Amino acid sequence: MAAYYTAAALPALILLSFFSHHALSDDATTPPPSTPVSPSTACNATTDPSFCRSVLPPRGKGDLYTYGRFSVSQSLAGARRFAALVDRYLARHRHLSPSAVGALRDCQLMAELNVDFLSAAGATIGATDTLLDPQADDVHTLLSAIVTNQQTCFDGLQAAWYGRGGLDAPIANGTKLYSLSLALFTRAWVPTAKAPHSHKAGGSGGGHHGHRKKKPRGGRRGLFDVTDDEMVRRMAMEGPESTVAVNSVVTVDQSGAGNFTTVGDAVAAAPKNLDGTGGYHVIYVLAGVYDENVEVPKHNKYIMMVGDGVGQTVITGNRSVVDGWTTFRSATFAVVGQGFVAMNMTFRNTAGPAKHQAVAFRSGADLSALYGCSFEAYQDTLYTHSLRQFYRGCDVYGTVDYVFGNAAVVFQDCAFYSRLPMRGQSNTVTAQGRSDPNQNTGTSIQACALLAAPELAANADFDTPTYLGRPWKNFSRTVVMESYVGALVDPAGWMPWSGDFALATLYYAEYNNTGPGADTSRRVGWPGYHVLGDGTDAGNFTVTSMVVGDNWLPKTGVPFTSGLIS
């Protein structure tokens, strides 16, 4: 049976152990999903009707639920075939370059996850025509993630393996099939479970909205600091009742006085497949610089990792694309296991700007939360890869695309510090990777501060334009709201990726920001850019709407605000 502890009580427990979403709006004329329709009619609502008609049975009539289940079943069969294909390629790895092998191993993991996700999605929708939140969001999230995983596989192969050994066609067909499953699911289940918020077509002019000035934070105290009355009061005001269920506790201490001397060993020994009902497995990492690359795999669920503070407990590495790693595998710390929580730690990649893509932290962990952490690198610092994530009171340092990926992610009370890049480079805070219009993904930056890091601020004569983001993929979606935007941000606000790529299909928005860089009167005039005039649309990107956080964040002990701040 799990023991329950208040956040303030956990340090004593640790020391004792030591010493002993959002689909597009439906057309009002669309018939109910239970209405029998022809496959051709069902396909009209998808992103690729021609491909859809080649997949669905040509004769007879079913409803959208039937077609959705059939498509997911076909997707699962296709995912299994692709996983087997990748395994065969890897079995011949002696004939492949190291970079190709690395990219194939990424594809292998993505394929395994897709089989898992499609199996879970199929089981859920096979049981009922009616899904209520959070079930509907769970399946929507899984089907969004399989599209992201397939894209990650393709991106890695494209960068590392010229010709890609004939895998382009299987990947492309798989992507179409997964996109079809996602489209049919959103048409059948999402409207009945949760009416999506519409995105009004806001203009790109107008001034900024005033509210309290968001200032950079000073020193941060930890959630588990028993003397921190201020933090306890903040949690009482801002967050849920902070009780955390603990299953077990181990310590990591480089001196040898704990259970483990490395973080990797502690993770490797962690219990498998916890379901969260019995509490977290807590790994307390004492102060020290841990020079290691760590991965929390898919079977290590509900791990809570607690450090002694930012700059005190540091996990560091220096992998980079220039040195032969895929972007995906360059991460100093990577987590896939569901329910991961980390607090009071620094994750760092020291490869430097000349090594280009070099990730400090990568998360593809659903229902993951990070609190009071620091992420430090240059290009591609924080890879919010997929699924649902939340960051509170964190610092992120970087230069080019330093928060990127395709998760549904909300940042609250975080500081984004743009650093000094290589000469000729521009800083871009975000590069969001939504590639399908039905994915419930996007990056929400709420009540945060966008600032110049000390080395950038000290080089006023260094010409470094800084932008809120640029579109990595066609349907890139990022919102900056209720935040302090420093003077370092260029008046245009946002930077194109290449020519007019994605400018009409992206969704970028700003709402109620302050600071010298928040004036929207000179922002880009792209069709996909919006200045939100009220909180109706901004509400789509809160903790409640974006990551259904009210359902799972309370048990993490991490404070959060459900809706808009003001």
Catalytic-role residue among 380, 413, 436, 537 = 380
Pairing, β 243-252 against β 3-6: antiparallel
508 bridge partner residues: 478, 529
Exposed/middle/buried for residue 348 (C-beta within 10 Å: 0-12, 13-18, 19+): buried
Q: Where are the beta strands (DSSP E) in 312-424?
A: 313-317, 333-335, 341-343, 346-349, 361-363, 368-371, 374-376, 382-384, 388-392, 395-398, 403-405, 408-412, 415-418
Degrees, nearest 5: CA angle 91-293-20: 120
The single-letter DSSP state of residue 166 is: G
For the question of residue 401 being annotated catalytic, the response is yes
Exposed/middle/buried for residue 235 (C-beta within 10 Å: 0-12, 13-18, 19+): buried
**b/e code 366-396 from CB counts within 10 Å (16+ = b):** bbbbbbbbbbbbbbbbbbbbbbbbbbbbbbb
* Contact assessment for residue 363 and residue 384, using Cβ atoms and an 8 Å cutoff: yes
For the question of residue 380 being annotated catalytic, the response is yes
The 3 state secondary structure assigned to 457-521 is HCCCCCCCCEEEECCCCCCCEEEEECCEECCCECCCCECCCCCCCCCCCCEEEEECCECCCCCCC
Tokens encoding 486: 């420093």
**Nearest-CA neighbor of 321 among 474, 111, 98, 93?**
98
Tokens encoding 552: 């799972």
Tokens encoding 245: 């269920």
Catalytic-role residue among 395, 401, 490, 537 = 401
Which residue in the block uniquely carries the two structure tokens 């340092």? 397
> Which helix or strand (DSSP H or E) is residue 244 part of?
strand 243-252
Exposed/middle/buried for residue 94 (C-beta within 10 Å: 0-12, 13-18, 19+): exposed
The residue count of the chain comes to 566
CB count within 10 Å of CB 424 equals 7
* Contact assessment for residue 72 and residue 118, using Cβ atoms and an 8 Å cutoff: yes
**Nearest-CA neighbor of 386 among 359, 409, 361?**
409
* Contact assessment for residue 442 and residue 473, using Cβ atoms and an 8 Å cutoff: no
DSSP H stretches of helix in 253-316: 263-268
C-alpha dihedral over 562, 384, 557, 297, to 10 degrees? 140
- The residues that are catalytic are 380, 401
